[in-house]
Amino acid sequence: MTLLAVNGLHKSFGGVVAARDVTFTVARGEMLAIIGPNGAGKSTVFNMVGGQLRPDRGQVLLDGQDITHASPQKRFRRGVGRTFQVAQTFLSMSAAENVQMALISCNRQSSGLWTAARERHRDKAVELLSRVGMAEAADTPCSALAYGDVKRVELAIALAGQPKLLLMDEPTAGMAPRERAALMDLTASIAESQGIGVLFTEHDMDVVFGHAARVLVLLRGQIIAAGTPDEVRQDEQVKRAYLGDERALEPPRGVSPA
Amino acid sequence: MDPAFLAVQALSGLSSASSLFITACGLTIVFGVTRIVNFAHGSLYMIGAYTAATLVPRLLELSFGPVTFWAGILASAVIVGLIGVIIEVLLLRRIYGAPELFQLLATFGVVLVVQDLVVQVFGPQDILGPRAPGLRAPVEILGRRFPSYELVLIAAGPIVLGLVWLLLRKTRFGVLVRAATQDRDMVASLGVNQALLFTGTLFLGAFLAGLGGALQIPRVSANTGMDLSIIAEAFVVTVVGGMGSVPGAFLAALIIGQLQAFGILIFPKSTLVVVFLLMAVVLAIRPHGFFGRAEIVGGTHAVGISSRAPLPGRQLILLVVIAVLAAFPLLADAYLLKVATEILIFALFAFSLQLLIGVGGVVSFGHAAFFGLGAYGAALAVKWYGVSMEAALPLGLALAALGACLVGAFVVRLSGIYLAMMTLAAAQILYAVAFQWVDVTGGDNGIVGVWPSSWASGPAPYYLLTAALTVVTVLLLKRIIDAPFGYALRAARDSESRAEAIGLKVRQHRWMAFMIAGAAAGLAGGLYAFSRGSVDPSLLGISTSVDALTMLLLGGIQTVMGPLVGAAALHALRDWIMPLTSLWRLLLGLSIIAMVLIFPRGLVGTVRDWWEARA
């Protein structure tokens, strides 16, 4: 069942066409990866789905509703959660308070002037943290957490809004190889159990081919291939796009590079 | 209207545009490279004027002629350039990575230091410079006499623009300056000697400020008020043109020059208001000026309070504080009570600013606007409608909240340095209105006879009233800081993109914060008006804003209660030291600089860190 439908998205910056007639769908519980060489337009497409960029043409539909021109705030309320390439959390707050803040916003209490924030939704926040394995760090300031842990907290924040769609921009960038697999396994299990569609961009091909159900390949703003990891890996055009790094798309053999 | 008159008016607009551009160009270049908004730029301009007004007559005694005159002007500018180098090496170099609030405050410290030093070096009198040899006779333009020196000034602007353009385009130094303006980190990682580049940039910037000042000497006498008046205009020019853009500064200076020349015909007394309104309109349409770029300006501005476990026994501490405040009239004489009242008022004022800066990360540089609105609101209600204190205080508060609502609507779209400049501009507009609308506000003399109701008059009752209102308001604000609203402000300060992604309406929250902080500052202003019995425009001035910022800094920006301690410390020091010395501004300026450099966590922050390290 279609959760996200992107129809004919187009965006140009001056003379550079960053996205040309980009069309794809994401189903509930499905993990879809967008890959492509640097400058292929991944982030542009991503930010148009996330609400940070306005497309010149085209449509973004979530559950059949048009969200093409909705602000990031509105998208959040419609059920879009997101994580950022460089993890964005509230560094002056504890891990639990970060999640509590998302819950407060979700319950439209962010203008509350009386009951202290740290007393609201505390149990629910700790439960969300435990789902990403961060319950013990609930009272640790985010500024004192290791980067991999911050990424997990960020995932918990994104989940606090009970999203239907999770947008993850290079979810494993800056993480150690072992942490990468763990984070993506976690994401996959949560997405599957709750029927959340996940759209992510990624540079690490192990992560892409290990976790995505389908892969989109962008080149110069256009989708040149789409399909299961195996289909994409065999595609001649894709191989050419990654020319010079022919083995980039091959499945890892023997010991994992780390 | 007479065409000759219009022509002369346009020409004088052009000549003031030239002077303004030469000065503002230095400011914008320095900002582009160092990302520091140099408040002391106006001080350099003033030093240029004083130096030239002193140096050029001596040189002319040796050898009279145009060459000597212009050589003297250039020599003065070079001297100012060298002073700029000294400032860079001693101060700016140490604060490039600091939060922008600290940078603004530190360079304002330099302004204070220079104000006293100029009087020490050049004496308290204004100095009128010599007229330029060969340019003494006016010229006829369409039958009207026009000073020929002004024509030279008109030419000077484009000449400086051309020379700066050549310097930036054709020299290695210029390439580096342009590269650093685009991406400072990239230039640093390419192995460029940054220290030398920055020092050179400061020399260039200070040289231009000095040149701008030195060129003024045949027109206006060098005086001690030059620094703040030119810096306000130079800020407007650089902000309207886009920070870091030289052509933008030129265009903005041209527009502002004409606006001043013709604005004076429409609003004879309020050219300042017209200029700042232009800035408000431009920033409302283009939040980064004509040619500015969207970027995070300055260092990190996310310094502020963070979550801490509640202090054990805080209820007890609060009770003790209230008891001490309540018992104070039993121990103190009338003078001490007066001092304590003012400390409480300023504590409330500083605390209201903490909601914006420490919690919201919104660096407001014009918080005096709301303090002054509260004071004037109360005083005007008393003067014109004869209402009692009980009605006047809420009216002042309401006026301040309304003002904050208006100002906030403009500034919440802005960020970083543009926001700081815009709030400064708002305060300056109100200052100009209070100063120039003599019929209503009493102008420079202000309004007198603002006395409290009989039950609250006398030092002890008024002290108790102030203490009660301050304690209640501070507790309410503290509650708000801990509530979701305060957390939402902090969230937006820590990461705006994350805050938006979890559905927080960042602008709405900041706007609301402006109104709450403005209302609290307005209450403080109203209390201040009744405590002194009068109001005057200085309540709205830059120095009142800086007072509040200094209190925050002194107490500690990262602490909730810091501003209260900072207000007490600053006020007590001022009361104690100011009568002893004529160099109070020098001392205050040096203390601000010292605090930024070696004591950035403030009193409360330092004590707390020491305490935690021990535990």
pLDDT in tens, B518-560: 999 999 999 999 999 999 999 998 889 989 999 998 888 888 8
pLDDT mean over B48-56: 95
Distance CA A50, CA A75 (A): 8
- How far off is chain A from B309, nearest CA to CA, in Å? 10
Instruction: Render pLDDT for A185-216 as a digit per residue (tens, 0 to 9).
Output: 999 999 999 999 999 998 888 888 888 999 99
Q: Does B498 sit within 8 Å of A90, measured CB to CB?
A: yes
- Looking up tokens 């015909």 gives B265
Which burial class, exposed, middle or buried, applies to B138 when counting CB atoms under 10 A from its CB (0-12, 13-18, 19+)? middle
Q: Does B503 sit within 8 Å of A106, measured CB to CB?
A: yes
Q: How confident is the model at residue A255, as a pLDDT?
A: 47
Mean pLDDT of chain B, nearest integer: 90
Q: Does A111 sit within 8 Å of B509, measured CB to CB?
A: yes
Q: Does B302 sit within 8 Å of A93, measured CB to CB?
A: no
Distance CA A181, CA A204 (A): 10
Does position B575 have pLDDT exceeding 90, yes or no? no
Quick one: tokens of B243?
């920070």
Q: Give contacts of A 37-56 with B, CB under 8 A.
A: 50, 52
Please write down the HEC assignment for all residues of B334-353.
HHHHHHHHHHHHHHHHHHHH
What ipTM is given for this predicted complex?
0.90
User: Sorting pLDDT into bands at 50, 70 and 90, what band is A250?
Assistant: low
> Poorest-confidence range of B90-94, B306-310, B385-389, B587-591?
B306-310
Residues of A whose CB is below 8 A from B497 = 52, 72, 84, 88
Q: How confident is the model at residue A141, as a pLDDT?
A: 93
Q: Does B483 sit within 8 Å of A115, measured CB to CB?
A: yes
At residue B145, the 3 state secondary structure works out as strand
Which burial class, exposed, middle or buried, applies to B62 when counting CB atoms under 10 A from its CB (0-12, 13-18, 19+)? exposed
Does position B389 have pLDDT exceeding 80, yes or no? yes
> Poorest-confidence range of B415-424, B498-507, B535-544?
B415-424
Amino acid at B40: A
Helix ranges, B171-313 (H) = 172-182, 184-189, 194-214, 226-241, 246-266, 271-285
Q: How confident is the model at residue A249, as a pLDDT?
A: 62
Does position B298 have pLDDT exceeding 60, yes or no? no
Q: How confident is the model at residue B297, as a pLDDT?
A: 41
Q: Does B479 sit within 8 Å of A113, measured CB to CB?
A: yes
Q: Does B483 sit within 8 Å of A116, measured CB to CB?
A: yes
A70/B contact by beta carbon, under 8 A: no
Centroid of chain to Cα A113:
33
Instruction: Render pLDDT for B281-291 as a digit per residue (tens, 0 to 9).
Output: 888 888 888 88
What DSSP character marks residue B129?
P
- Portion of chain B with pLDDT greater than 70, in percent: 98
> Poorest-confidence range of B299-308, B433-442, B454-463?
B299-308
Residues of B whose CB is below 8 A from A117 = 482-484, 486-487
If we measure between CA atoms, which residue out of B99, B100, B80, B97 comes closest to residue B39?
B100
> In angstroms, what is the C-alpha Rg of chain B?
25
Selected for mutation to probe chain A from B485, B502, B516, B612 (highest A CB count within 10 Å) is B502
DSSP string, chain A: -EEEEEEEEEEEETTEEEEEEEEEEEETT-EEEEE-STTSSHHHHHHHHHTSS--SEEEEEETTEE-TT--HHHHHHHTEEEE-SS----TTSBHHHHHHHHHHHHTT-TT--SS-GGGSSHHHHHHHHHHTT-GGGTTSBGGGS-HHHHHHHHHHHHHHT--SEEEEESTTTTS-HHHHHHHHHHHHHHHHHHT-EEEEE-S-HHHHHHH-SEEEEEETTEEEEEE-HHHHHH-HHHHHHTTT-GGGGSPP-SSPP-
Centroid of chain to Cα A28:
14
Q: How confident is the model at residue A150, as a pLDDT?
A: 93
Distance CA A127, CA A130 (A): 5
Distance CA B277, CA B259 (A): 11
- How far off is chain B from A201, nearest CA to CA, in Å? 18
Instruction: Render pLDDT for B576-602 as a digit per residue (tens, 0 to 9).
Output: 888 888 888 899 999 889 988 988 888
Across the beta sheet with A165-169, the strand order is A80-83, A165-169, A197-201, A31-35, A214-219, A222-227
Q: Are strands A197-201 and A31-35 parallel, antiparallel or unpaired?
A: parallel
At residue B552, the 3 state secondary structure works out as helix
- Portion of chain A with pLDDT greater than 90, in percent: 59
> Does residue B602 contact residue B562 with C-beta atoms inside 8 Å?
yes
| CA dist list (Å): B455 to A200, B460, B461, B562 | 69, 11, 7, 33
> Does residue B534 contact residue B334 with C-beta atoms inside 8 Å?
no
Distance CA B526, CA B534 (A): 10
> Does residue B530 contact residue B458 with C-beta atoms inside 8 Å?
no
Q: Give contacts of A 152-171 with B, CB under 8 A.
A: 154, 157-158, 160-161
CB pairs under 8 A between A and B: 114
Quick one: tokens of B531?
């405590």
- How far off is chain B from A253, nearest CA to CA, in Å? 38
- Looking up tokens 């909730």 gives B560
User: H-helix or E-strand containing B144?
Assistant: strand B144-146
Q: How confident is the model at residue A244, as a pLDDT?
A: 56
> Closest residue of A to B507, CA-based?
A73
pLDDT mean over A120-125: 94
Nearest CB to B490 within list A52, A92, A104: A92
List, in order of start, the domains of chain B with CATH numbers: 3-234 (no CATH), 314-614 (1.10.3470)
Q: Does A89 sit within 8 Å of B495, measured CB to CB?
A: yes
At residue B137, the 3 state secondary structure works out as coil
Nearest CB to B304 within list A71, A92, A143: A92
Q: Give contacts of A 198-227 with B, CB under 8 A.
A: none
Q: How confident is the model at residue A243, as a pLDDT?
A: 55
At residue B583, the 3 state secondary structure works out as coil
Residues of A whose CB is below 8 A from B502 = 76, 101-102, 105-106, 157, 160-161
> Closest residue of B to A100, CA-based?
B484
- Portion of chain A with pLDDT greater than 70, in percent: 94
User: Sorting pLDDT into bands at 50, 70 and 90, what band is A39?
Assistant: confident
Residues of B whose CB is below 8 A from A79 = none
Distance CA A97, CA B608 (A): 22
Residues paired with residue B399 on neighbouring β-strands, in sequence order: none
Quick one: tokens of A142?
């985010």
Residues of B whose CB is below 8 A from A160 = 502
Q: How confident is the model at residue A199, as a pLDDT?
A: 95
- How far off is chain A from B484, nearest CA to CA, in Å? 5
Quick one: tokens of A15?
């003379």
At residue B57, the 3 state secondary structure works out as helix
Q: Does B486 sit within 8 Å of A160, measured CB to CB?
A: no
Quick one: tokens of B358?
């420490």
Instruction: Render pLDDT for A158-172 as a digit per residue (tens, 0 to 9).
Output: 999 999 999 999 888
Q: How many other C-beta atoms lie within 10 A of the C-beta of residue A194? A: 14
At residue B448, the 3 state secondary structure works out as strand
- How far off is chain A from B85, nearest CA to CA, in Å? 37
Domain coordinates in residue numbering, chain A: 1-72+196-251
Which burial class, exposed, middle or buried, applies to B126 when counting CB atoms under 10 A from its CB (0-12, 13-18, 19+)? middle
Quick one: tokens of A177?
């190889």
B519/A contact by beta carbon, under 8 A: no
If we measure between CA atoms, which residue out of A49, A31, A36, A19 comes closest to residue A210?
A31
Q: Give contacts of B 475-514 with A, CB under 8 A.
A: 479-480, 482-488, 490-491, 493-495, 497-505, 509, 512
If we measure between CA atoms, which residue out of B84, B449, B487 comes closest to residue B304?
B487
B560/A contact by beta carbon, under 8 A: no
Quick one: tokens of B446?
């202000």
Q: At the fourth CATH level, which superfamily is domain A1-72+196-251?
A: P-loop containing nucleotide triphosphate hydrolases (3.40.50.300)
Residues in chain A: 258
Instruction: Render pLDDT for B111-130 as a digit per residue (tens, 0 to 9).
Output: 999 999 999 999 999 998 88
pLDDT mean over A134-150: 92
Query: What predicted TM-score, i.e. pTM, was given to this entire model?
Result: 0.89
Q: How confident is the model at residue B299, as a pLDDT?
A: 37
- How far off is chain B from A121, nearest CA to CA, in Å? 11
pLDDT mean over B599-610: 85
pLDDT mean over B291-308: 65
pLDDT mean over A104-110: 93
Does position A55 have pLDDT exceeding 60, yes or no? yes
If we measure between CA atoms, which residue out of B337, B306, B327 comes closest to residue B562?
B306
